[in-house]
Chain A
Amino acid sequence: DAEITQSPRHKITETGRQVTLACHQTWNHNNMFWYRQDLGHGLRLIHYSYGVQDTNKGEVSDGYSVSRSNTEDLPLTLESAASSQTSVYFCASSDTGVGNTGELFFGEGSRLTVL
């Protein structure tokens, strides 16, 4: 069965370190997204991609970067982790036309703690 997986599921790091969260989907979806979820803020879009070599900034992109070298993967990098980036991170993917279908498939989430 097709799926979307994130790794690591849990990570503790220190302020200033670079962290990369992996996201891999086997749906062959063009669209991939990274959200963060925090109490009181809900899910906020960090970066997204509509296809290979395409990346775009979301509403909370500062301090984060992504790259899309193939269809399956969209790794999220925190260049220099800050305590404000402690959060649960969700990767998601969708087929083209998600605006009509609403079908966004989420990974299980990565819980990041920055000390």
Chain B
Amino acid sequence: RKEVEQDPGPFNVPEGATVAFNCTYSNSASQSFFWYRQDCRKEPKLLMSVYSSGNEDGRFTAQLNRASQYISLLIRDSKLSDSATYLCVVNFGNEKLTFGTGTRLTIIP
């Protein structure tokens, strides 16, 4: 079983809709969590951290459920520019980040 698992998608969502992704992790001792965004043929970039209490950044909301060992990303009022692959990232208590395989999102006009 992979340490970090995501539904690969693709998710095809109409513009303006709300979409949510989940990610599960296998190690209950995981320390910190992040979402990265990767555009087609580009490098990954940090989107946001995920805090235990949940956090928002504009149209994006990230939540953590330690009991069930999953994190989620919610995108409201989706824009065409949100089309990308979203990578779930977990830190297992060291200086390394472990990446999920990514969920591909396409926003349809």
The answer to whether A42 touches B45, judged by C-beta atoms less than 8 angstroms apart, is no
Q: Which residues of B contact A50 (CB under 8 A)?
A: 95
Interface residues of A in 98-112 (CB under 8 A from B): 98-104, 106-109
Interface size class of B (residues with CB under 8 A): 20 to 34
* Contact among A33, A101, A108, A109 with B96 in the assembled complex (CB-CB below 8 Å): A33
Q: Does B91 contact A (CB under 8 A)?
A: yes
Interface size class of A (residues with CB under 8 A): 20 to 34
Q: Does B75 contact A (CB under 8 A)?
A: no
The answer to whether A99 touches B43, judged by C-beta atoms less than 8 angstroms apart, is no
Kindly list 13 other residue pairs between chains A and B, CB separation below 8 angstroms, not including A58-B96, A108-B42. A42-B101, A43-B99, A50-B95, A90-B44, A98-B97, A99-B31, A99-B91, A99-B93, A99-B94, A100-B32, A104-B44, A104-B46, A109-B43
List 24 A-B pairs, Cβ < 8 Å: A33-B96, A40-B8, A40-B101, A42-B87, A42-B99, A42-B100, A42-B102, A43-B44, A43-B87, A43-B99, A48-B96, A90-B43, A94-B95, A96-B95, A99-B31, A99-B32, A99-B93, A99-B94, A99-B97, A100-B32, A100-B91, A102-B49, A102-B97, A104-B97
